[in-house]
Structure 1
Amino acid sequence: MYLARRFPALTWLPSDPDEGARDSIAAHRRNADLPNLKAPVALDASAPHWPVQHAEAITCINMIHISLWAATEGLMVGAARCLPPGGLLYLYGPYREAGKTLAASNAAFDADLRARNSEWGLRDLSAVEHLAGQHGLRLTQRIDMPANNLSLFFRRA
């Protein structure tokens, strides 16, 4: 809702693989009454087919660390398939970085995620960047955000 309000010239298509989450999005959408916000769709990033064929940009917030690595792989495949040359994949969330000490809050969050599912957890930024590169997506901008998160902007070649 926040982004749809802030960018009214863009059409937003929210998605989630979880039906309950989609129901929540739909309820908020009804209350927001924003003409540029479409009804949420079921989308599993790791699935071979997505319910969208083309997008100028993809926004992915706080997913990579709370999902299997296969979802990140699927995200990169899907972004490469859906985005035109120059299209944007925006990622937001916490990451591990080589040579940098993990903030205590992120270390605790990572431990909690791994306790819930051993295949979850903060991803190594260089691994995400390498995977993106394998699918024609190049990291063009990185912005440090509050609470030890990063905004990452990838462009499709």
Structure 2
Amino acid sequence: MNKQFSSACERNREPILAILDKEFADRKHVLEIGSGTGQHAVFFGAGLPQLIWQTSDLPQNHSSIQAWLQEAALKNVLPPIALDMSNAEWAVDLLDKDMDAVFTANTCHIMAWSEVEKMFAGAAHVLQAGGKLCVYGPFNYKGQFTSVGNAQFDASLRTQAAHMGIRDIEAMQELANAHGFIMQADHAMPANNRLLVWQRT
């Protein structure tokens, strides 16, 4: 199996878990969008054993996720499903899964903005009233970077692909509101990241 490793996942997993432990205290079934290497899934699954944690990603990333899951052998973390945010209908097959939370980390600055829009639209279909959407990553405020490091990171992203880049929190908020999500919290995280929490009305 092609087990991948992300040092960023190792660095941020404990601060994220500390927030999710509170935000997901009353949750039962979480969809993780963009499980990446699979490291977050096994760490959060072990730390939040009351949850069913559904992994997902593009098919080419499944082998690493499966390798981490096989090693951890957690009954509450499910094998990855194929989700592509460029497909406006990605949420259709999940409508009967009774998920009450969606989590995604470090995806919004990688995806094209049109894919971020489809992610919020799909999450609004997946979650019933009261469902939570948690988004982790770097964000700008009023078009301004929150650190020199984030500005450098954004420049690096844009050299890789024109559609990448750190998103403005105001645009995220407008998008969330358009799909029936009300912001509940904006948690400051290490390394100039944020963990944003919205709830479905």
TM interval, shorter chain, is over 0.9
* Other-structure match for 2:126: 82
CA-CA distance at 1:49 after TM superposition: 2.3
Q: Quick check: 1:46–1:73 contact (8 Å CA) kept in 2?
A: no
Q: Tell me, in whole angstroms, the C-alpha distance in 2 between the residues paired with 1:125 and 1:99.
A: 8
* Other-structure match for 1:38: 78
Aligned residue for 1:138, secondary structure, equals: strand
* Other-structure match for 1:21: 61
* Other-structure match for 1:138: 182
Aligned residue for 2:77, secondary structure, equals: coil
Q: Tell me, in whole angstroms, the C-alpha distance in 2 between the residues paired with 1:101 and 1:5.
A: 34
* Other-structure match for 1:96: 140
Q: Quick check: 1:84–1:156 contact (8 Å CA) kept in 2?
A: yes
* Other-structure match for 1:68: 112
Aligned AA (2:129): P
CA-CA distance at 1:44 after TM superposition: 1.1
Q: Please, which runs of 5 or more residues in structure 2 have no aligned partner? A: 1-41
* Other-structure match for 1:126: 170
What TM-score, normalized by structure 1, do the two folds share?
0.95
Aligned AA (2:187): I
Q: Extract structure 1 runs of 4+ deviating beyond 6 A.
A: none
Residues 139, 46 of structure 1: alpha-carbon distance in 2 compared, 3 angstrom cutoff: farther
Aligned AA (1:91): V
Q: Tell me, in whole angstroms, the C-alpha distance in 1 between the residues paired with 2:108 and 2:86.
A: 11
Q: Tell me, in whole angstroms, the C-alpha distance in 1 between the residues paired with 2:163 and 2:88.
A: 20
Q: Tell me, in whole angstroms, the C-alpha distance in 2 between the residues paired with 1:49 and 1:5.
A: 31
CA-CA distance at 1:119 after TM superposition: 1.2
Aligned residue for 1:35, secondary structure, equals: coil
What TM-score, normalized by structure 2, do the two folds share?
0.75
Q: Please, which runs of 5 or more residues in structure 1 have no aligned partner? A: none
Query: Aligned residue pairs: how many?
Result: 156
Aligned AA (1:52): L
Aligned AA (1:12): W
Identity between Structure 1 and Structure 2 (%): 36
Aligned residue for 1:28, secondary structure, equals: helix
